[in-house]
Amino acid sequence: MAASHHGNTPAAWTAVIIMFVGFCVGGVFTVAAQPLGVLAGGLVIAVGAVVGWAMRAAGMGQPKGHGKPQRMMGA
């Protein structure tokens, strides 16, 4: 289990933080009944996804094939 990885990479953390801010913005503007603010929150969420993808493509994410299940010895 020591070799398992849960996405603790700069790309994942950056994407999650940006998306969290987007959810907060969208939530505040939902309560305030401001549709343009809700849309802005959604756009921030989309930007977070793009930033995470771009950072992963730049090598700051999990390596490809890293999360594949391993065969157990003797199974």
Q: What is the mean pLDDT of each run of 10 residues along the chain (75 residues)?
A: 67 95 97 96 97 91 67 62
According to the model, what pLDDT value does residue 19 have?
A: 98
Q: How many domains does the chain have?
A: 1
Q: Is residue 2 part of a domain?
A: no
Q: Find tokens 């959604």 and name the residue.
A: 42
Q: Is residue 36 part of a domain?
A: yes
In whole angstroms, give the CA distance from residue 61 to residue 52: 8
Q: Is residue 1 part of a domain?
A: no
What pTM value is reported for the model?
0.76
DSSP calls for the chain = -TT-----SHHHHHHHHHHHHHHHHHHHHHHTT-HHHHHHHHHHHHHHHHHHHHHIIIIISPPTTTTSPPPPTT-
According to the model, what pLDDT value does residue 1 have?
A: 46
